[in-house]
Amino acid sequence: MNFSGKNVLITGGSRGIGRAIALAFAGRGARVALNFHRDQAAAMATLNELGNSAEHLALKADLADPEATRRMVELVVREFGRIDILVNNAGIYRAHPLPETSYEEWLDAWRQTLDTNLVGAANLCYLVGRHMIEQRSGRIVNITSRGAFRGEPDHPAYGASKAGLNALSQSLARALGPFGIGVNALAPGFVETDMTAGLLAGKSGEAIRAQSPLNRVAQPEEVAAAVLFLASAEAGFTTGAILDLNGASYLRS
At position 62, the amino acid (one-letter code) is D
Predicted model pTM: 0.96
> Does residue 126 carry a catalytic annotation?
no
Task: State the pLDDT at residue 206.
Answer: 94
Closest CA to 82 of 137, 156, 15: 137
* CATH code for the structural domain at 7-245: 3.40.50.720
Q: Which residues of the chain have pLDDT under 50?
A: none
d(CA 119, CA 171): 14
Task: State the pLDDT at residue 197.
Answer: 86
Catalytic entry in 93, 103, 126, 158: 158
d(CA 136, CA 156): 37
Task: State the pLDDT at residue 203.
Answer: 86
Task: State the pLDDT at residue 196.
Answer: 87
Task: State the pLDDT at residue 161.
Answer: 98
Task: State the pLDDT at residue 52.
Answer: 80
Task: State the pLDDT at residue 127.
Answer: 98
pLDDT digits 0-9 by tens, 117-174: 999 999 999 999 999 999 999 999 999 999 999 999 999 999 999 999 999 999 999 9
**CB distance 219 to 191 below 8 Å:** yes
Task: State the pLDDT at residue 123.
Answer: 98
Give buried/exposed letters for 178-209 (b at 16+ CB in 10 A, else e).
eeebbbbbbbbbbbbbeeeeeebeeeebeebb
